A = this chain, B = another copy of it.
Amino acid sequence: MSTSCPLCEIAATVRAKRERRKDARPGELLAAALELFVEKGYAATRAEEVAKRAGVSKGTLFLYFASKEELFKAVVRENISGRFGEWNVELDHFQGSSADMLRYAVRAWWKHIGSTKASGIIKLMMSEAGNFPELAAFYQLEVIKPGHELLQRIFQRGVDSGEFRAIDQKYGVYTVLAPMLFLATWKSSWAACHDTDMEIDPDQYIAVQIETLLNGLISTAPAHSKTPAK
Within A137-196, which residues are at the interface with B (CB < 8 Å)?
A: 137, 140, 144-145, 148, 165, 167-168, 170-172, 174-175, 177-179, 181-183, 185-186, 188-193, 195
- In the complex, the answer to whether A183 meets B175 with C-beta atoms within 8 Å is no
In the assembled complex, the CB of A133 is this many whole angstroms from the nearest CB of chain B, namely: 6
Is there an interface contact between A200 and B174, defined as CB atoms closer than 8 Å? yes
* Bound-state Cα–Cα, A177 to B2, Å: 67
Verify if A39 is at the interface (C-beta below 8 Å from B). Answer: yes
For chain A, give the interface size range. 35 or more
Whether A41 and B190, one on each chain, are in contact in the complex, defined by CB atoms closer than 8 angstroms, is: no
**Complex: A186 Cα to B1 Cα, angstroms:** 59
Q: How far is the CA of A132 from the CA of B216 in the complex (A)?
A: 39
Residues of B within 8 A of A7 (CB): 1, 5, 8, 11
Given A7-B5, A130-B40, answer yes or no on A178-B175 (Cβ-Cβ < 8 Å).
no
Contact of A130 among B179, B181, B188 (CB under 8 A): B188
Q: Taking CB as reference atom, which chain B residue is nearest A185?
A: B126
Q: Interface segment, A71-79, A86-94, A207-215, A221-229? A: A207-215
Q: Which residue of B lies closest to A38 (CB)?
A: B130
Task: Determine whether the beta carbon of B182 is less than 8 Å from that of A181.
Answer: yes
A127: CB under 8 A from chain B? yes
Contacts of A201 in B (CB 8 A): 171
20 A-B residue pairs with CB within 8 Å: A5-B5, A8-B11, A40-B131, A41-B41, A125-B189, A126-B189, A127-B127, A130-B189, A136-B193, A145-B197, A171-B200, A171-B207, A174-B182, A175-B179, A175-B213, A177-B182, A182-B185, A185-B185, A213-B216, A215-B217
14 A-B pairs besides A5-B5, A123-B126 with CB distance below 8 A are A1-B7, A40-B131, A41-B41, A127-B189, A130-B192, A133-B193, A148-B197, A165-B215, A175-B213, A177-B182, A181-B182, A182-B182, A185-B185, A212-B216
The 7 nearest A-B residue pairs measured at CB:
A216-B216, A5-B5, A215-B216, A43-B43, A127-B127, A178-B182, A171-B208
